[in-house]
Structure 1
Amino acid sequence: MIDVVVIGAGPSGNTCAALTAQAGLSTLVLEEHDDAGLHVNCTGIIGVEAFKRLNLPTEPILSSLQGIRFLSPAGKTFRYHPGEPLAHIVSRRHFDRTLREWAEARGAEFRFGYHARLIQVDADAVEIRRQEEDPEPIRARAVVIATGFGTNLPAQAGLEGPRQITYGAQAVVEMDGLDDVEIHLGREVAPDAFAWVVPLDGQRARVGLMAHKNPAHHFWKLLSNPNILPRIRTREPKMLLSPIPMQPIRESVTDRVVVVGEAAGQVKTTTQGGIYYGMLCAGLAAEALVEGARQGDFRARTLQRYEKSWRRAIEPELKAGLSLRDLFSGLSDQQIDALVELGSRDDILSLVRRLAQFDWHRELIQTSLRLPELKQLAKGGLW
């Protein structure tokens, strides 16, 4: 019997697999596609801190995020340029495959083209099947669900999925006028959140947005925006669309099962980016699984160590992000214009430079929301 089966060969799954294998647990990764990094819809932005803290490979880096330019509905702009890279933009295909090689080097095995659709937990093991009548189910002492969002595998184990979702729609296009990462704001541009232009190599960019409803409609409308359309040289962009959780699941462990990454809703609630948080939480999951193996006990009471540790690590950030999104979702275009104009003030820029961290937003959010101008904005002022 295998000690740990990881379902999904994305960054979270590969991280967990590498660490459990390195600790001596027999580890098998099941991936539905033919290799890691295929059919991924992601901006590929990973903060500099993640590269340093997790010793991530630099070969997949396509470009670096040096600054961010915010554009309001009326054309007002606010540029944040700290003078050093905030993050790197990676090729997800290259990045995920490099992590797969890292896991393999530590003893993890991979099986590609295996779409795990069914799991069944009993007192002694977890059985994983591709279909109901699978003649050769895989048996493991524990399973890690790292499939990304949208699977029903947690529900099969009795775990409730995230209650709120949004959608990310994006395409890679050839484009002119690329410099900073651009964040486009406004009810006509991205009614539920924001739109982005993420430069890749000076000639191409990832262009997309988040929307709770009708994401494809809003995406094609975005590409016709006068700030974007004249710069696009790709005739027929190929849109990718995927659901994204907006909050974590209520419980991420049960007997012999842990859920990590987007499948657990471990994504930043400000930007919905999930690579770094997912990898951090995957490391904590691996620690709990190694301890479970040492005790010979993979029941929920042992795996609760993971639940408690990941919530302690990132849940305060998730709650702060949700409070900001609640405020932003109620703003009119005129208020968004005022907010962007406010960001250009010297005292506000000084505050941002002092408190801003690419992956950790809570301190800046909480401090900003105490500003009189933001309080007035929240009450419907600053028209």
Structure 2
Amino acid sequence: MRLVCSLTSDYDVIVAGAGVAGCMAAIEASKQGVRIGLFEEHPQVGVPSHCSGVVSLSGLKLLGMTSNQAFDQRLIRGARFFPPTGSPIEITRPEPVALIINRMKFDQYLAKNAINNGVELHTKSRITKFEKTSDQEIQVTIQNQGVVGAKVLIDASGAGSRLPTQAGLKPPDWSQILPGLQYELIGTDRQDDLVNLYFGSKRAPGFFAWSIPTGDHSVRAGLATSKGNVRTLLDQLVKERWPKSKIDATKSGSVLVSGPVDRCWSPGFIFAGDAAGQVKQTTGGGIVIGGYCGMLAGKAAASAVKNPRRADQFLETYDHEWREKFSSDLKKMGIGRRLFFGLSDATLDKLFPALEPLLGEITDVADMDFQGTVITKLLANRKLASLIPRIAADNIRSLFS
């Protein structure tokens, strides 16, 4: 991978962060013939990786991509959901619906594509500050390296970014980040082609645990939680489910569940991906939504550079376009999260059997990356209406616990 080792000149567009959103933004902007600088704070793109690595095939198609040996690990037909006690339920299809990826290799694949499109990649380059110096110019400060000029800055540097505040914009509510932990396990029992999700206060209070088959005898197991010690909870799950396995790697991270920001642009600045809260509140996943928003951001930034008199109009259009595409789904996922993750174990144990008669309908519309339709169908179902008083009571109790 060809890297640029020093700051030699200014750029038309600077992108902060070489994750999925940042790489997609850089690739899309480069297609319009403008000069792009892609700045990644870590020494290596894709490292560290904090992602579970599940992406739907429909979502991959939306990004203009298909399965590729450069980052593939396994195809998945659906998911198995475990209540606190009792039998799990399954949502599956005969054909594959999702892909398990090696997230490090996925990001590096995108970065190579960006470089092949003329993007200049700088690693070990953390953007700490920017300021607008004129109507059409900004100055971007790179930690310990100096200042470089640009016409537009795209912030795709992830959760916790401080750049939006410098632009006078409100970032996501960073207090709504859950601690997470993930193990790469080897030597497990034989794995099938389903993702497993585990719910309940003894497994992952306020969220869920997961196990993702990465091979015939290997699993990516993890969880996030709003209460308790993540390592203790994950160790308990491993002991329960895969007692003979060995931990090959450990990855800590966080899960953002706050939802998207109110505004994603100001003159000379736009932000995308986790930095803008463009993630699924039900899972914290953002590969597809963040990647597509990155594409829209890159297109808008390049158009702003090439049409300086209408620059603000193009940046504002980005904010409208991504919301038109995803806002409805994200709002429904936010409602689903607020209702579901406050439920007691007793209510969850009643809810899962109530869902079994609906599995056929759910399977017809289920999509791992676009869950709004399923959530709408569940909320409108009369068979679940009898649980509404319990759900309401559980959510009220969760506010004070």
TM-score normalised to structure 1 length: 0.92
Structure 1 residues 3 and 239, CA, compared in 2 at 3 Å: closer, same or farther?
A: closer
Query: What pairs up with 1:89-108 in 2 under 5 angstroms?
Result: 89-108=100-119
8 Å CA contact 1:149, 1:262 repeated in 2: yes
Runs of 4+ in 1 over 3 A off after TM superposition: 225-232, 297-302
Letter matched to residue 83 of structure 1 = P
> Does structure 1 residue 168 correspond to structure 2 residue 168?
no
What is the deviation of 1:223? 2.2
What is the deviation of 1:311? 0.7
Letter matched to residue 250 of structure 2 = K
> Does structure 1 residue 335 correspond to structure 2 residue 350?
no
Letter matched to residue 28 of structure 1 = G
CA distance in 1, matches of 2:216, 2:126: 37
- Equivalence for 1:295: 307
CA distance in 2, matches of 1:284, 1:231: 46
CA distance in 2, matches of 1:292, 1:238: 42
Structure 1 residues 23 and 88, CA, compared in 2 at 3 Å: closer, same or farther?
A: same
Of all paired residues, the percent bearing the same amino acid is 28
Corresponding pairs, count: 377
Letter matched to residue 378 of structure 1 = I
- Equivalence for 1:22: 31
8 Å CA contact 2:92, 2:363 repeated in 1: no
TM-score normalised to structure 2 length: 0.88
- Equivalence for 1:309: 321
- Equivalence for 1:185: 199
CA distance in 1, matches of 2:61, 2:249: 35
Structure 1 residues 243 and 153, CA, compared in 2 at 3 Å: closer, same or farther?
A: farther
8 Å CA contact 1:177, 1:231 repeated in 2: no
> Does structure 1 residue 368 correspond to structure 2 residue 378?
yes
CA distance in 1, matches of 2:356, 2:238: 23
Residue from 264, 281, 284 that aligns with 2:276: 264
- Equivalence for 1:67: 78
8 Å CA contact 1:261, 1:281 repeated in 2: yes
What runs of 5+ residues in structure 2 fail to find an aligned partner? 1-9, 395-401
CA distance in 2, matches of 1:313, 1:293: 24
CA distance in 1, matches of 2:183, 2:209: 12
- Equivalence for 2:60: 51
RMSD of equivalent CA atoms: 2.2
Structure 1 range deviating more: 225-234 or 191-200: 225-234
Letter matched to residue 228 of structure 1 = E
8 Å CA contact 1:22, 1:107 repeated in 2: no
What is the deviation of 1:303? 0.8
Letter matched to residue 11 of structure 2 = I
8 Å CA contact 1:162, 1:245 repeated in 2: no
Query: What pairs up with 1:205-354 in 2 under 5 angstroms?
Result: 205-214=219-228, 217-225=229-237, 228-234=240-246, 238-297=250-309, 300-345=312-357, 348-354=358-364
Query: What pairs up with 1:105-144 in 2 under 5 angstroms?
Result: 105-123=116-134, 124-131=136-143, 136-144=146-154
8 Å CA contact 2:343, 2:391 repeated in 1: no
Letter matched to residue 167 of structure 2 = A
Structure 1 range deviating more: 334-343 or 251-260: 334-343
Structure 1 range deviating more: 309-318 or 201-210: 201-210
Structure 1 residues 200 and 226, CA, compared in 2 at 3 Å: closer, same or farther?
A: closer
Corresponding residue SS for 1:14: helix
Q: Deviations over 1:118-151 (max 9, x none)?
A: 22223242222134xx573011111110111112
Letter matched to residue 72 of structure 1 = P
8 Å CA contact 2:152, 2:305 repeated in 1: no
8 Å CA contact 2:157, 2:275 repeated in 1: yes
Corresponding residue SS for 1:107: coil
8 Å CA contact 2:24, 2:295 repeated in 1: yes
What is the deviation of 1:360? 1.5
Letter matched to residue 73 of structure 2 = L
- Equivalence for 2:397: none
Letter matched to residue 178 of structure 1 = Q
